[in-house]
């Protein structure tokens, strides 16, 4: 099934779940309503014509000031017709139902999105930080993220534009890097 057939097939079942589609892009995508996501995904998984049994990736993309997009990359191991789902969330309160019940592999992916982007997945059994430390402050992949000066006494932050790449003993001597 190509993209159009998938969309047509889905519209038969869930006409109200699909907000829109974009076929002009390299990977055409479907924009799904947040409330209908789980139902739609169950259809995607269970319908023998669709058979999307492989959740490849969950990623969150931050589009300040208003939205955060959650992108689901799906694939079928048997039928080989990849699909992209998108859900748009308000940036202030990014909440979305969890897909752990549909694809258990969503577990760590959702934790990662929570960890780095601050998305709250409702119904996730164990929504804790996974890659960052448990007491880390902020969500690093947001575009407006401010790097902390230090973490438990260890200086951290991006190197560009700062003098971090100077050994501490030099700074005492008043030596700093000058960037062109």
Partner 1 sequence: MAIPQELHRDVRTEEFLLNMGPQHPSTHGVLRVVVRTDGELVLEATPHVGYLHRCFEKCAENTTWKQVVPYTDRMDYLAAMCNNITYTLAVEKLMGWEKLIPRKTTIVRTLLFELQRIASHLMSIGTYGLDVGAITPFLHCFRERERLLEIFEEVSGQRLNYSYITPGGFQYPWPDAINRKIKGFCEYFEERITEYNDLLSYNGIFIERTKSIGVLSPQQARAYGCTGPMLRGSGIARDLRWDQPYLLYDELKKEGVFRVRYQGDKTPDPRDQMVDWSLGELGDCWSRYMVRAAELEQSRRIVLACLAKLDKLTDSEKEAGAGNIIKEADRAYTAPKGEEAYFKSENPRGELGYYVVSDGKPKAYRVKARAPSFNNLQVLTEISRGAMVADLIAIIGSIDIVLGEVDR
Partner 2 sequence: MGYFRRIYDVSRSILIGMGVTLKHMLTPETVITKQYIGLKTPVGTGLLAKALGVTRDANKVELNHQYCAICAAAKKLGMGDDPHEPTTDPVAVYDRYYRPDDKISKPIPLDYLPARHRGLHYLETEKCIMCFQCARACPVDCIDIEGTREMTPGLEGAHRGDKVNLTRFTIDYSLCIFCDHCTLACPDKQVCIHMGKEFDMTSFTQGNLVKNLLTDLPFSKDDRALVMKHRAEIDRIEEEKKKAKEAAKKEAAAKAAAAKAAGPAAPAAPPAAKPPEPPKK
**Residue 148 near residue 124, CB atoms below 8 Å:** no
Q: Quick one: 63 or 170, whose CB is closer to partner 2?
A: 170
> In the bound complex, what is the minimum distance in angstroms from residue 60's beta carbon to partner 1?
8
Smallest distance, partner 1 to C-beta of residue 36, A: 22
HSE, side-chain direction, 13 A CA sphere, residue 113:
26
Number of residues engaging partner 1 in binding (CB under 8 A): 32
State the nearest-atom distance from the C-beta of 179 to partner 1, in Å: 15
Q: Please confirm whether the linkage preceding 54 is cis (ω < 30° from 0).
A: no
Binding mask 40-59 for partner 1 (x = CB under 8 A): -------------xxxxx-x
Question: Given the DSSP bridges, would you call strands 150-151 and 154-155 parallel, antiparallel or unpaired?
Answer: antiparallel
> What angle (nearest 5°) sits at the alpha carbon of residue 117, between those of residues 113 and 119?
65
The structure tokens listed for 100 are 């752990």
Residues at the interface with partner 1 (CB under 8 A): 25-27, 53-57, 59, 61-62, 71, 73, 77, 80, 82, 84, 103-105, 107-108, 116, 129-133, 140-141, 158, 160
């Amino acid at each position: 099934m190509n993209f159009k057939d998938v969309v047509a097939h889905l519209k038969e079942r869930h006409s109200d779940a699909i907000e829109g589609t974009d076929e002009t892009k390299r990977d055409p995508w479907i924009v799904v309503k947040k409330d209908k996501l789980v139902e739609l995904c169950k259809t995607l998984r269970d319908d023998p014509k669709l058979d999307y049994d492989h959740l490849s990736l969950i990623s969150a993309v931050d589009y300040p000031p208003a939205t955060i997009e959650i992108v689901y990359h799906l694939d079928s191991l048997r039928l080989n017709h990849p699909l992209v789902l998108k859900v748009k969330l308000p940036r202030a309160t990014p909440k979305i139902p969890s897909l752990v019940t549909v694809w258990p592999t969503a577990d760590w992916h959702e934790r990662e999105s929570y960890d780095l982007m601050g998305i709250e997945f409702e119904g996730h059994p164990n929504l804790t930080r996974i890659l960052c430390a448990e007491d880390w402050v902020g969500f690093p992949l947001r575009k407006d993220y401010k790097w902390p000066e230090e973490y438990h006494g260890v200086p951290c932050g991006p190197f560009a534009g700062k003098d971090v790449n100077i050994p501490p003993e030099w700074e005492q001597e008043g030596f700093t890097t000058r960037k062109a």
